[in-house]
Amino acid sequence: MPDVRATIHRITEAAEAFLRNLEDADQRAQATFPFDHDERENWHYVPRPRAGLSRGEMMPAQFNAAESLMAVSLSAEGVRKAHSIIRHETILGELEASDGSLRFDRLEGLYYFSIFGTPGSVDPWGWQVDGHHLSLNMTVIGGERISVTPSFFGANPAEVPHGAHKGLRILKEEEDAARSLLHSLDSDQTQRCTIYPTAPPDLITRASRKVEMGERVGLPASMMTADQREGLVRLIEVYVGRKQANVAREQMHRIRSAGLSEVHFGWAGGHHPGQGHYYRVHGPTFLIEYDNTQNMANHIHSVWRDIDGDFGRDLLREHYKQAH
C-alpha cells in the first residue's frame, strides 16, 4: 500500500499557507467553515451561486497559495486539466456571445476555495474548489488518511468548433480511452455492455451527496480478454491519475483489492464521435460516470465517486469508532 502521509503533509502545509494569506477578516469568513458545516458536501458542476472565496476576489499572494494547494493535491495532468477547464470559461463565453446564447457569466474567477476545519489538527479537515465543470473535494483524517472524491471534470465545448482554439479537446482521454475499449468488444460483449438504448441526458448520479446507483450492470471485467481488461484499467487510471501519484496508487490498490473482475463497463448511445453517448465504470467500491449528450453531443460531464467514501465517510466512521 503506497504511503500517502508525505503527500498529506504537503497538502496540509499548502492549506495552512493559504489560510495565512487571508489577512482580511471578511475573506477568512468567506473561505473557512467548521468541518461539519453543510457546505462541505454542497457541490455542483453547473453555474450557480457558491460559498467560499473566489479566485476573482483573491489578492496575488492568496491566488498563488490557492494554486499551490491545488498543485500539491493533483498530478501534473490533473493540474493541467483543472487549469484548462477554468480557462475554458473564457472560450465558452466567447462562443456563446458570438451566437447569442450567453446566459451566464463565464469568468475564470468564479471558482471558489473553501477550507473545512483546521489543517494540521488531529481532527478531520478538508478543502474544496468548486465551480462550473470543476469540483475537487478532499478530506484528511488523522494526518494519515485522505479521501479525494467526488471529483468532477467537465468541458463545454468538448471540442472547440472554431476560432483560435479550434480542435481543442481538454478531456479527450476520457472519451477516447472509453471508445477504444468499446470498439475492442465483439458483438456479444457489445450487447452485454449496452445498458440503455439511448444515452441519458446527464450523469445518473448528478451532483448527489451520496452515490445511489444500485447493482452493477454492463460487461464485467471477468468476461473481457486480457487486452480488454488492460484497456479498462487504462480508462480507470485516466480518472484516478488526476490525483497526486501516491494518492492515485493508493486508490488503484484499493480498486484492485476489491476485485477488478467485478468491475462492470456499461455504454449507452452512439459508438462514434459526434453521437450522444454515456458510459459507466462501476466497481465494488467506486463509480465513474461520463456523459456527452448536451449541445449536440459536444459537452462532457465526467465524475469519479467513492460509493461508501465520498467526503471521507468510510474513513470518518473508522476514525470516530477508534476515538470512542
How much is the average pLDDT of 191-220?
Answer: 97
> What amino acid is encoded at 113 in this protein?
F
**Given pLDDT bands bounded at 50, 70 and 90, which one contains residue 324?**
low
pLDDT in tens, 63-104: 999 999 999 999 999 999 999 999 999 999 999 999 999 999
The pLDDT, as a whole number, for residue 23 is 86
DSSP state of 43: -
Measured CA to CA, the distance from residue 96 to residue 142 in angstroms comes to 46
Strands 111-116 and 125-131, by their bridges, are antiparallel
Q: Tell me what percent of the residues of the chain surpass a pLDDT of 70.
A: 99
Assign residue 129 a region: left if phi > 0, alpha if psi is -120 to 50, beta otherwise? Answer: beta
Assign residue 95 a region: left if phi > 0, alpha if psi is -120 to 50, beta otherwise? Answer: alpha
The pLDDT, as a whole number, for residue 109 is 98
pLDDT at 267 exceeding the cut of 90 = yes
The pLDDT, as a whole number, for residue 321 is 83
The pLDDT, as a whole number, for residue 127 is 99
Whose grid coordinates read 448527489? 208
CA 3 to chain centre: 22
Whose grid coordinates read 464485467? 220
Measured CA to CA, the distance from residue 244 to residue 138 in angstroms comes to 12
Within a 13 Å sphere around the CA of 140, how many CA atoms are in the beta-carbon half?
A: 28
The pLDDT, as a whole number, for residue 322 is 82
- Backbone angles phi and psi of 102, in degrees to 5: -70, 120
**Given pLDDT bands bounded at 50, 70 and 90, which one contains residue 136?**
very high
pLDDT at 107 exceeding the cut of 80 = yes
313: three-class secondary structure by DSSP: helix
DSSP state of 142: T
Helices 5-20 and 60-73: crossing angle, nearest 10°? 170
The pLDDT, as a whole number, for residue 134 is 99
The pLDDT, as a whole number, for residue 98 is 94
How much is the average pLDDT of 107-128?
Answer: 98
Residue 148 near residue 141, CB atoms below 8 Å: no
pLDDT in tens, 164-198: 999 999 999 999 999 999 999 999 999 999 999 99
pLDDT in tens, 4-21: 999 999 999 999 999 999
Q: How many CB atoms lie within 10 A of CB 266?
A: 19
Residue 168 near residue 312, CB atoms below 8 Å: no
Whose grid coordinates read 483524517? 141
Measured CA to CA, the distance from residue 218 to residue 195 in angstroms comes to 6
The pLDDT, as a whole number, for residue 264 is 99
How much is the average pLDDT of 273-301?
Answer: 98
What are residue 290's DSSP bridge partners? 279, 302
How much is the average pLDDT of 286-304?
Answer: 99
Cis peptide before 157 (omega within 30 of 0): yes
What is the maximum alpha-carbon separation in the chain?
62
The pLDDT, as a whole number, for residue 288 is 99
The pLDDT, as a whole number, for residue 1 is 60
